[in-house]
Amino acid sequence: MADPDFASPRMERVLDTAADLLVRWGYQRVTIDEVARHAGIGKGTVYLHFRTKEALFLTVLLRAQRQIVAAMADRMEADPGEVLPSRLLRGLYLVLSNDAIARVLYMGDAEVLGRLAHEAEDTLGGLVTRRQEMLAEYLRLLRAEGCLRSDRRPEELHYLLSAIGAGFFFVGGMPGGSPDLDVETRADLLEHAIATAIQVPDPPPAALAKVAPVIAALYRSLITEIDHEVRRRIR
């Protein structure tokens, strides 16, 4: 994993290998034997850490989510402007454009995930719910500090943020979806669309500086829950 104290170089190698094979072959085709062979270790070593194939690949997805959330919190702590939805979604879009596992995780790629998609939804449903609750609280905090439009109800802001973001992620992942635009240009357009739809012009820097530590801590609380889910799946 990235930071948890239960990480080890050998486990990192297993997870890196499993992630690579998941993207290349898809969940249905990959076996523990293949993960072990490509990682250069014995199959029994993989089972020392993970009881099942499902546990291994759910951990792969959890690790990807943890890395994304941790990076978001780091950026917020370094630059309060990063708490703005437009900046947050721009950063996430760039991550998904350059990280195959992150893209599979957030797009719910059924072709790659196969049966694991249903297992992840059932097993990790609590995290999904928590993430939605966290998003609502995130928007509430920004709205209270005068950073978001007041002429839209909170549920409308939530919908606009989710719908615009999902639209950019989906179209960008389609063959020929935006053939004449590079990733940076698409990310800039996403930032502009979100800023126009839900933010006030020139959000006050003092308000951003005030709310940034609170929102960063909110995201770090999700990391704690992700770590708990990972520990449940590792021997």
- In Å, what is the CA distance from 183 to each residue of 93, 172, 211, 233? 9, 9, 30, 35
The Cα–Cα gap between 159 and 132 comes to: 11
Count of C-beta atoms within a 10 Å radius of residue 99: 17
- Inform me whether the pLDDT recorded for 18 exceeds 90: yes
- Per DSSP, the residues of 166-177 read HHHHHHHHSTTS
Task: Report whether pLDDT(174) > 80.
Answer: no
Q: What is the pLDDT of residues 108-141, one digit of tens each?
A: 677 778 778 777 776 666 777 888 899 999 999 9
Q: Return the structure tokens found at 81.
A: 């402007």
SS3 179: coil
Architecture in CATH of 65-233: Orthogonal Bundle (1.10)
User: Which string of DSSP letters, residue by residue, matches 95-106?
Assistant: HHHH-HHHHHHH
Element at 80 (helix H, strand E): none
